[in-house]
Amino acid sequence: MTIIKANKKVTKISLIKSKIMKKLFPFYQILCKISIMKIICGLGNPGREFKFTRHNFGFLVIDNFQKENSFPDFEISEKFLAEISRKKIKGTEILLLKPQTFMNNSGKAIKKIFLTFKIEPQDLCVVHDDLDLSFGEIKISFKRGSGGHKGVQSIIDEILTKNFWRIRLGIGKPKDKKIEEFVLGKLGKEERLKLKEILKFTNELIKIWIENPQKAQTLAPSFSLSMDFKNSSKNP
């Protein structure tokens, strides 16, 4: 008799717990959805003198994305060694990041973000210039080596993985200049004329990446195919 009563009591408690969980589950789902964070990091060098250099293509794209999508103004974070801006887009927390460590130490800022927030590498998208692509070409890569880009290599070294997304913006290769001189040089006249269209496209591309990285990866090359930028990488 005692066993039957005990079993009834356990069953009653289980039913109460089940009802409570059913009521709380929708709120739990909302909390989980809100807690998701994605990092979009543009690479470049701090300082006005570097603003329109080829190596600062990542900064230009992030600045444009911040402006076009009404993110708060960038604030300097000493903790993260970067300029940051945060906003929720469809329940996902988006953190825009511009490391202030200079290009070759970009990974230090990313590492601090990873140590502070529970970020999975696949929720990181790094936007940067790429010598291996002609000016105007855009590709999205995942789980790929640095290709000699020191800023990207710094990130790989600091977070110990290459399993993150990259939006690679072509700048072409110089014919009569050293690589360092070329990437730190200002965008040429023809390049500047095409910049507006590139920024417009990458703005849409990043929004697609936030919801569906694979779809963004598929769409990225279509920009290059539709724009005649192949011969735009001439030196100024």
- Asked if 190 and 234 count as a contact pair (C-beta separation under 8 A), the reply is yes
27, HSE (Cβ side, Cα atoms, 13 Å): 5
Specify whether 55 is catalytic.
Answer: yes
Which residues does 131 contact at the CB level (< 8 Å), separation at least 6?
A: 148, 149, 171, 172, 173, 179, 183
Rounded to 10 degrees, the C-alpha dihedral 101/36/221/163 comes to 60
**Catalytic pick among 38, 54, 55, 128:** 55
Report the greatest alpha carbon distance in the chain: 95
State the DSSP code for 74: P
Residues acting as catalytic residues: 55
